[in-house]
Amino acid sequence: MTGISLASLSSSNFIFKNESLADEVLAQLDGANESSTDTGSAAEDTSGDTTGSNASVAGQNIDVDYNWGNNQQVLDFDPASDTLTIGWFNSGDIVLSEVNGSVVISLPNNNQTITLTGITLSDLSADNFIFKNSGISSDVLTQLQTGTVADDSADSADSTGDASGADDSSVVDEGDVDLDDTAGTTDDDAGSNNGTDGVSDTEDGDGAVDDNSSDTRTDDGSSDVDDNSASDSAESADETTSDNDTGSDDTDTGSDDTDSGDTTNGGNANTGGSSAVYTPYFDITQTGGDVTTVLESGVSAVSLAFIVAETSELVPATDEFGWQVYDEDGNAIYLDNYGTASWGNYTAYDLNGGYLEDNIDAGIQELQDAGVDVTISFGGALNSMLWEVTDNPEEVVAQWIAVYEAYDYGNLVGFDFDVEGYDTLTDLDQLQVFVDALELFEEWRAENDIDLEISITIPTLSDGLAEYETDFVEMVVDSGVDIAYWNLMTFDYGDGTTEMGNAAIAAATSMHDYLVSLGDDDASIMITTMPGYDDLGALTTSEDLQQITEFAMETDWVYGVSEWSLNLETQVETVNGDRPSDVVNAVLATDTSSGETQGDTGSDAEVDASQTAQIDDDQSAAELLDTDAIMIDGGFDSSLALLGIQNMPFEADAVF
């Protein structure tokens, strides 16, 4: 409130919907007024005294409270007199670290940092902290004594050379340990079982677009399934700070050098002959149906999140503006949408009658009209899946069919089912409803000649599945339902893993071996990462993404790679130095139909023309071709051309 001082406010200026907060807020008002008065007198008393006691000076207080996505810099914090008031947080919500000589206070679950520029951890003491929740004081003060100091000098040297000091963005970026707009994380000792959620921080169903990001869970099925203890939280905090030095200081993959080439074809790795595809997630509810981010990323495939079950018993029938609709007698009309398909469990995004659902529909059509292959993802870490609110698999299939018919504009290529959480993955009765529905849906697709890939997304530990997941996997395999690929979420392990590239490959390999042992010899694996910092503070760097993508291209049983999510690429870029889609697209763009990269062979212009065979669209080649490159006439459709030349004997290092 510009121009208004705290002293000019009184209790008469406040109306509390929650009366229990009145005392707390008004106490702050009174305390601030007293502090303001004391500050004035202190300033007057010490105006000419540069040697006086610091105790006579009332310093500033910095409130550390929820302010989603904010990165605050405090340029003039004085440890001798200033304080930090820590709000009503739980143990593990606050992470202290030191980056480039500045203290970074991170709120991982709120995508938020406060940086005390030029202040080190050793400069601070318990006297600088005021805790509204005294229960977390030991957690925070322990970090103060043991917090990790991150050496990011390499980053500073390799960046733009900006010596602006306090305004150096790397100070803030390195402290921003959570780039996912999660509402919370459940941390259990076994680690792993994370995921992408389909619920917003708001649950009022009014269609307000809020974050629907990749919340994750880590459940081990033991007695502490919902464990948020100080010990676990401290471990999580320690993992977060220590992971900052996992080689992330130098994350230049060279992707910035690819601007001379068109990377749009890199979106789907099938272009150029690779067997890997790139299908990142995009939370379409977060943008209200706007798909500009997807189109600008250059990807040619995307997985849209998340359709779940509407769980309101009755929802108001509304007009196109969201106003309640009444019958001729003046009675409000309600829709019985319980158990029907809904984007994020937003009433406004219900497939049946949601007044903002048309915006989602328009975005999906825009993507398909632009040639982007669309997969629709169901489920996530939160909300209820369609098969969790009924025991009748036919009702589930009816909703899946409704979704398909609503959003198929020619390039709807798949349905992805995100199944996670200990309770969900161990509820075998409801899982049986899901599997039965998959069988019925497969029959419907066959009867109606519907070409739609089915995939299942599940969490993983860094070395493979948790034991409690295996019953579900075996249930699906035993059903005989055709699963195009199993999608592993290779993040939020919770076991201190820092080599995220190696861990992802190990987890994928373990999963594939397990599926083969069950008799699924044709099993395929998708590897989904959370670039940048995951919810537990582990860092997936650009080098990790490059390593994983190269592994996917070289491994025939890896279907492709994905990420959570395109919505977060700008934030990830501040940490890794690259947008994840640029890194993956750059790797995919180096692939050729021979399966070899072009990285060491130079540009197209360097190919010796005397060793190049030209194949035109009306030419057949019976003779043996032994050449460095095969040039395909532009009149060919690329996929048909590749199919055609596979039937000819040839030896070539590259195909263009």
| Average pLDDT estimate for 590-613 | 44
pLDDT of residue 107: 84
Q: Is the pLDDT of residue 274 over 80?
A: no
Beta strands in 490-646 (DSSP E): 525-529, 532-533, 539-540, 558-563, 612-615, 625-632
467 in the same domain as 327? yes
Asked whether residue 298 is domain-assigned, the answer is yes
Task: Of 75-84, 168-177, 435-444, give the lowest mean pLDDT range.
Answer: 168-177
Q: Cis omega before residue 441 (within 30°)?
A: no
Asked whether residue 77 is domain-assigned, the answer is no
410 in the same domain as 325? yes
pLDDT of residue 381: 85
581 in the same domain as 521? yes
According to DSSP, the β-strands at 102-107 and 112-116 are: antiparallel
Rounded CA gap, 194 and 192, in Å?
6
512 in the same domain as 429? yes
What is the band of 149 on the pLDDT scale with cuts at 50, 70, 90?
low
pLDDT of residue 416: 99
Give the range with max mean pLDDT: 119-133, 390-404, 632-646: 390-404
- What one-letter code names the amino acid at 254? G
Residue with the larger pLDDT of the pair 284 and 655 = 284
- Asked if 376 and 416 touch (Cβ cutoff 8 Å), the reply is yes
334 in the same domain as 238? yes
What is the band of 583 on the pLDDT scale with cuts at 50, 70, 90?
very high
What is the band of 34 on the pLDDT scale with cuts at 50, 70, 90?
low
Asked whether residue 84 is domain-assigned, the answer is no
- Residue ending a domain, among 561, 589, 617, is 589
CATH of residue 495's domain is 3.20.20.80
Asked whether residue 221 is domain-assigned, the answer is no
% of the chain exceeding 70 in pLDDT: 65
In 3D, which of 116, 115, 127, 118 has the Cα closest to residue 172? 115
**Buried residues in 556-586 as b, exposed as e (16+ CB within 10 A):** ebbbbbbbbbbbbbebbbbbbbbbbbbbbbb
635 in the same domain as 565? no
- Residue ending a domain, among 41, 58, 75, is 58
Domain extent, residue 14, equals: 1-58
626 in the same domain as 507? no
In 3D, which of 475, 531, 567, 203 has the Cα closest to residue 349? 203
647 in the same domain as 555? no
Which residues pair with residue 547 across a beta bridge?
A: none
pLDDT of residue 35: 54
631 in the same domain as 563? no
Q: What are phi and psi of 249, to 5 degrees?
A: -70, -15
% of the chain exceeding 90 in pLDDT: 50
Residue with the larger pLDDT of the pair 384 and 257 = 384
Asked whether residue 461 is domain-assigned, the answer is yes
Asked whether residue 44 is domain-assigned, the answer is yes
- CA torsion sign for 372, 374, 380, 383 is positive
In 3D, which of 255, 207, 196 has the Cα closest to residue 491? 196
Q: What are phi and psi of 48, to 5 degrees?
A: -115, 15
Number of domains present in the structure of the chain: 3
Asked whether residue 468 is domain-assigned, the answer is yes
| Average pLDDT estimate for 596-605 | 39
548 in the same domain as 621? no
Q: Is the pLDDT of residue 164 over 80?
A: no
| Average pLDDT estimate for 155-184 | 36
pLDDT of residue 255: 38
What is the band of 286 on the pLDDT scale with cuts at 50, 70, 90?
very high
| Residue 572: C-alpha distances to residues 144, 156, 178, 415, 566 (Å) | 27, 17, 9, 27, 10
| Average pLDDT estimate for 365-392 | 96
The region, left, alpha or beta by phi > 0 then psi within -120 to 50, assigned to residue 511 is: alpha
568 in the same domain as 540? yes
Q: Is the pLDDT of residue 504 over 70?
A: yes
584 in the same domain as 621? no
Asked whether residue 353 is domain-assigned, the answer is yes
